Amino acid sequence: LPEPFQTATAILREIEQHHHQAFFVGGCVRDFLLKRPIGDIDIATSATPDLIQRIFEKVIPVGIEHGTVVVRYKKESYEVTTFRIDGTYSDSRHPDHVEFIDQLDKDLERRDFTINALAMDKSGAIIDLFASRADLQHKLIRTVGNGFDRFTEDPLRIIRALRFSSELGFQIDKETLFYMKKVKEAINNLAVERITTELGKFFAGKYVNNGITYLKDTEAYKHIPVFTKYPQIISLLPTHLKPLYSLGEVLALLHLLEPTVTVKEWVKEWKCSNQIKQEALQLVEACNHYKSNGINDWLVYQLSPAYYQGFIRLINTLFLKKQVSLQELISRMNNLPITSRTDIVIKGNDLIDLYPHAKRGPWLQQTITSIEKEIVAGNLKNDNYNIKEWIKCNPPEIN
Ligand code: ATP
Ligand code: MG
């Protein structure tokens, strides 16, 4: 077996030495057979979480009530989950209870799609109970078992089917698609965080346009927060959308397509983190600035370099103008006279010294911002003398 399986094989061996079974399962086996880059390695085992905690030195009990622990080994993390059968999902979040079992086959049966229900042992032998390899070959997403039951049990699987169609470029099996349409209303009951996680991966998919075709065809979006209220947004999506690698980019795009929905509302409805929100807000600002001014020093200065690539993806999606390169942004950034406000040699207190009779107020920040813009534009040198001269010619409006 190639890396990263080679290293992880040691974990399977160790568990087997304790007279238990252990296999690689799920996405890593699928991606291995598809010759795609392997993400996380997930391991399924007949050993209980208790035993795993005793066998390995560093174990983090991330989801121990569902049988999942993370084993740290040679600086890598491996999710190790005990074979289980899921109870009902009455809250549409987690199964109400899980039952640990000692057979692999039942564990594979609870998994969502055939392509995700493969297992592989330490020698690379594949356990394929549902003709999964045939589905991989035919590029088909198909539920394990009856679609109606599986989607009713956990409606997130409807969104996951869309997500995999976007990531893999696969078709959705006819019957599976039929039941996605039939059960889609149940998406309403899901915890939104679960939907958001899947949507992030959906929009980052290499075949996102394939996913969007299914999103439209199934009308599943009508049950996804915000799209429920503004279903027309779906038709505003570009027909040849490029993958957007972060949720911040996605929210920025959605807001720019339909400005009546603010970033704040998307963030609230999709329960995104503050970091995603800040990213989306910065990207929106940069795109709007680009629309009226093109690329200039102020844009590059305002936008965190971490978001440069996202910004490029967005403007390439939104404006079919000449392409902007990352290099261009970085070299502009490197030539900026200052990198942030704190670099300005004059501070608020210096302004107060210049106008000892003025009260503190918004004029302080406004003046600093004007100075900042002049410096970034290259019109003003960042030194005491020049800034004070500039202030004399442009006295602040003290309010
Ligand atoms: P990725 O490469 O994006 O991690 P993945 O297939 O590993 O894809 P995960 O969400 O990490 O997807 O889930 C791991 C495995 O757990 C899946 O391959 C699938 O077998 C099973 N699984 C995950 N979520 C569900 C679900 N809602 N219903 C049934 N099985 C699921
Ligand atoms: Mg995974």
Whether 251 contacts 273, CB under 8 Å: no
Query: Residue 399 domain-assigned?
Result: no
- Ligand 1 atom nearest to 111, measured from its CA: 30
Alpha-carbon distance 272 to 193, whole Å?
8
Quick one: average pLDDT of 164-183?
98
DSSP-derived secondary structure for 136-169: HHHTEE-BSS-HHHHHHH-THHHHHHHHHHHHH-
Q: Percent of the chain, pLDDT > 70?
A: 98
DSSP-derived secondary structure for 192-227: HHHHHHHHHHHHT-TTHHHHHHHHHHHTGGGGSTTT
Query: Residue 239 domain-assigned?
Result: no
Alpha-carbon distance 81 to 79, whole Å?
6
Contacts of 75 (CB under 8 A, 6+ apart): none
Report the length, in residues, of the chain. Answer: 399
Which domain, by its residues, includes 353? 343-393
pLDDT band at 100 (very low <50, low <70, confident <90, very high): very high
pLDDT band at 92 (very low <50, low <70, confident <90, very high): low
More confidently predicted of 399 and 368: 368
Quick one: average pLDDT of 99-128?
96
Q: Which of 118, 138, 158 is the last residue of a domain?
A: 138
Which of 38, 42, 150, 245 for mutating ligand 1's site (highest number of atoms within 8 Å of CB)?
Answer: 42
Query: Residue 154 domain-assigned?
Result: yes
- Judge if the upstream peptide bond of residue 4 is cis by omega within 30 degrees of 0: yes
Alpha-carbon distance 317 to 226, whole Å?
21
Q: Which of 89, 114, 138 is the last residue of a domain?
A: 138
Instruction: Report the nearest-CA residue for atom 30 of ligand 1.
Output: 111
* 14 lies in the same domain as 112: yes
pLDDT band at 56 (very low <50, low <70, confident <90, very high): very high
Q: What's the gap between Cα 182 and its chain centre?
A: 28
Q: Which two tokens stand for residue 376?
A: 């970034």
Instruction: Report the nearest-CA residue for atom 2 of ligand 1.
Output: 27
Q: Strand pairing partners for 44?
A: 23, 81
φ, ψ of residue 303 in degrees (nearest 5): -90, 130
Count CB-CB contacts under 10 A for residue 366: 14
Nearest to 128 by CA among 146, 139, 144: 144
* 10 lies in the same domain as 120: yes
* 12 lies in the same domain as 110: yes
Q: Does the C-beta of 249 come closer than 6 Å to ligand 1? A: no
More confidently predicted of 367 and 90: 367
Query: Residue 291 domain-assigned?
Result: yes
Which of the 8 DSSP states describes residue 303?
S
Decide the pairing of beta strands 126-127 and 119-120.
antiparallel
Instruction: Report the nearest-CA residue for atom 14 of ligand 1.
Output: 26
* 145 lies in the same domain as 195: yes
Quote the ligand 2 centre to 276 CA distance (angstroms).
22
Quick one: average pLDDT of 9-23?
97
Quick one: average pLDDT of 32-59?
96
Instruction: Report the nearest-CA residue for atom 16 of ligand 1.
Output: 26
376 pLDDT above the threshold of 70? yes
Whether 224 contacts 195, CB under 8 Å: yes
* 54 lies in the same domain as 124: yes
Q: How many helices (H) and strands (E) does the chain have?
A: 20, 11
Pick from 94-98, 137-141, 142-146, 339-343: least confident? 94-98
CATH code, 162: 1.10.110.30
Alpha-carbon distance 320 to 332, whole Å?
22
Alpha-carbon distance 285 to 296, whole Å?
13
| pLDDT tens sequence across 280-305 | 999 999 999 999 999 999 999 999 99
Q: Tokens 């594979």 label which residue?
A: 108
Query: Residue 331 domain-assigned?
Result: yes
The pLDDT value recorded for residue 91 is: 62
CA distances from 54 to 61, 68, 240, 256, 310 (A): 12, 14, 51, 52, 44
* 3 lies in the same domain as 96: yes
Whether 297 contacts 233, CB under 8 Å: no
Whether 220 contacts 162, CB under 8 Å: yes
Q: Which two tokens stand for residue 69?
A: 């622990």
Q: Is the ipTM value over 0.85, yes or no?
A: yes
Quote the ligand 2 centre to 43 CA distance (angstroms).
10
| pLDDT tens sequence across 183-216 | 999 999 999 999 999 999 999 999 999 999 999 9
DSSP-derived secondary structure for 4-45: THHHHHHHHHHHHHTT--EEEETHHHHHHHTTPPP---EEEE
Query: Residue 233 domain-assigned?
Result: no
Cα angle 304, 382, 364; round to 5 = 80
297 is in an annotated binding site: no
φ, ψ of residue 128 in degrees (nearest 5): -130, 95
CA distances from 97 to 62, 80, 94, 101 (A): 16, 18, 8, 13
27 is in an annotated binding site: yes
* 108 lies in the same domain as 157: no
pTM: 0.91
Q: Does the C-beta of 156 come closer than 6 Å to ligand 1? A: yes
What total number of domains does the chain contain? 4
Quick one: average pLDDT of 324-331?
93
Which of 81, 89, 116 for mutating ligand 1's site (highest number of atoms within 8 Å of CB)?
Answer: 116
111 is in an annotated binding site: yes
- Ligand 1 atom nearest to 117, measured from its CA: 20
Q: Does the C-beta of 116 come closer than 6 Å to ligand 1? A: yes
* 98 lies in the same domain as 161: no
The pLDDT value recorded for residue 397 is: 86
| pLDDT tens sequence across 236-278 | 999 889 999 999 999 999 999 999 999 999 999 999 999 999 9
* 220 lies in the same domain as 160: yes
Quote the ligand 1 centre to 238 CA distance (angstroms).
29
Q: Percent of the chain, pLDDT > 90?
A: 88
